[in-house]
Amino acid sequence: MEAQGGAPAVVERDGRRLMKINMGPQHPSTHGVLRLIVTLDGEVVVGVEPDIGFLHRNFEKIVEGWSYPGIVPFSDRNDYLGAITNEVAVCLAIERLAQIEVPPRAVYLRVLFCELQRILSHILFYGTFGLDLGAFSPFMYAFREREWGYTLMEKATGARMLYAYNRIGGLRNDLPDEWFADLEKFLVFMERQAWPEYMGLLIENEIFRERTIGVGKLTPEQAIAWGASGPVLRSTGVAWDLRKAAPYLGYERFEFDVPVGKNGDTYDSAMVRMLEIKESIRIIRQVLKMLPDGPVLARVRPNLRPRAGEYYSRVESPRGEVGVYLVSDGSARPYRLKWRAPSFCHLQLVPAMGGGGKVADLIAAVGSLDVIMGEVDR
């Protein structure tokens, strides 16, 4: 076999001849443009080295030259499946430094949209994880609800994926009453039909359980040490959810549980996400009950100049902890904005999760991390 991409095709280690193989950047199950340099001994993965940066677009540099309101829509592109949570994270940081009071209705609606976004993201995780394990149909079922949810999002925000819905100081527009009726229908469908279908189609399937239980195991210590967050950390049994641990947007007002796993394997991580869908529905229901009237956008001067200082805002995105470290020097543009992406940290865990298993286990491990390369490479 010829060497490919400059790397030697065959390497020798301990007297065994191992094969080096490029998984990605274009590969059906690397979820974007992730490249894994995999060393194989037959079917057994001896070593994995993630190689990232193919989607790097210098987000952090570009926003240094932009005014604050312009950053919010651009932040959508980082985690394009959790666009609302990105916007919220960056808005929270700016609002805190600029000391802007967000109207209560906007805060509640932000919670609603964060949770709706979480549901939609977890639905897509369900579909793609099924694809990674070779089941195609769950993907289409996931898309049934995803399309519905995106239509809801479109009705509310005008866009399907990259919403630019949050403004500094609130939300772009209020919602008509019919929208809430639609949302309620969607939630009822999710609860009564879609969720049980998801479980029956994939999660409770014997082959799925065989493929995921005990695969890609993480210990809580490993997960914490490597900075894992979100469902990946919770699957190891650590009940760490920023909505509880460091409540933002008044999450302490809502009643919900934090589902945790036991073994830290890919099954638990999928299961945690499935249960989170239910919790998110619970939160949205509470938001709908408590939603106050009033404006949704505070008056903010377009040429916003937050006071000098720095703030680190953390938000529980569908994938984990999104952090925005904002340094302001008091001018109309941020001095520095660092984006802490959960997927970036999670990818460091791939060698620990996928090494020693089969090729198929590696795919399952990467799939269970639910990485979005947009926020890894920024």
Comparison of 71 and 363: residue with beta carbon closer to another protein: 363
Contact window for another protein (CB under 8 A) among 96-104, 163-171, 178-186, 292-300: 96-104
Exactly one of 183, 194, 202, 275 binds another protein (CB under 8 A); that residue is: 202
Asked if residue 77 binds another protein (CB under 8 A), the reply is: no
Smallest gap, in angstroms, from Cβ of residue 158 to another protein?
27
Give long-range contacts, CB 8 A cutoff, 24+ apart: 223-229.
223/264, 223/349, 226/345, 226/348, 226/349, 226/352, 227/345, 227/348, 228/320, 228/342, 228/345, 228/346, 228/349, 229/320, 229/321, 229/342, 229/345
Exactly one of 7, 43, 193, 294 binds another protein (CB under 8 A); that residue is: 43
Which residue type is seen at 137?
Answer: S
Smallest gap, in angstroms, from Cβ of residue 82 to another protein?
17
Asked if residue 134 binds another protein (CB under 8 A), the reply is: yes
# residues near another protein by CB under 8 A: 89
Exactly one of 167, 211, 217, 273 binds another protein (CB under 8 A); that residue is: 211
Question: What is the rounded distance in angstroms from the CA atom of residue 364 to the CA atom of residue 34?
Answer: 15
Question: What is the rounded distance in angstroms from the CA atom of residue 347 to the CA atom of residue 35?
Answer: 11
Closest to 307 (Cα-Cα) out of 322, 279, 327: 327
Exactly one of 87, 115, 132, 268 binds another protein (CB under 8 A); that residue is: 132
Exactly one of 34, 52, 90, 171 binds another protein (CB under 8 A); that residue is: 52
**Token pair belonging to 261:** 């796993």
Question: What is the rounded distance in angstroms from the CA atom of residue 46 to the CA atom of residue 38?
Answer: 8
Exactly one of 7, 9, 161, 188 binds another protein (CB under 8 A); that residue is: 9
Comparison of 140 and 161: residue with beta carbon closer to another protein: 140
Asked if residue 97 binds another protein (CB under 8 A), the reply is: yes
Closest to 243 (Cα-Cα) out of 234, 254, 231: 254
Question: What is the rounded distance in angstroms from the CA atom of residue 114 to the CA atom of residue 207?
Answer: 33
Contact window for another protein (CB under 8 A) among 17-25, 175-183, 186-194, 288-296: 17-25
Contact window for another protein (CB under 8 A) among 37-45, 107-115, 275-283, 288-296: 37-45
Q: Where in 256-285 is the site for another protein (CB under 8 A)?
A: none
Q: Where in 331-360 is the site for another protein (CB under 8 A)?
A: 331-333, 335-336, 338, 340, 344-345, 347-348, 358-360
Asked if residue 309 binds another protein (CB under 8 A), the reply is: yes
Asked if residue 141 binds another protein (CB under 8 A), the reply is: yes
Comparison of 112 and 324: residue with beta carbon closer to another protein: 324
Comparison of 159 and 327: residue with beta carbon closer to another protein: 327
Contact 122, 275 (CB under 8 A): no
DSSP string across 23-51: E-SS-TTSSSS-EEEEEEETTEEEEEEEE
Smallest gap, in angstroms, from Cβ of residue 34 to another protein?
13
Query: What SS3 state is found at 349?
Result: coil
Comparison of 113 and 256: residue with beta carbon closer to another protein: 256
Asked if residue 213 binds another protein (CB under 8 A), the reply is: no
Closest to 135 (Cα-Cα) out of 30, 206, 36, 196: 206
Closest to 13 (Cα-Cα) out of 34, 44, 36, 35: 44
Question: What is the rounded distance in angstroms from the CA atom of residue 191 to the CA atom of residue 121?
Answer: 16
Exactly one of 259, 306, 318, 374 binds another protein (CB under 8 A); that residue is: 306
Q: How far is CA 269 from the centre of its chain?
A: 13
Exactly one of 155, 189, 327, 356 binds another protein (CB under 8 A); that residue is: 327
**Token pair belonging to 315:** 């938000």
Smallest gap, in angstroms, from Cβ of residue 358 to another protein?
6
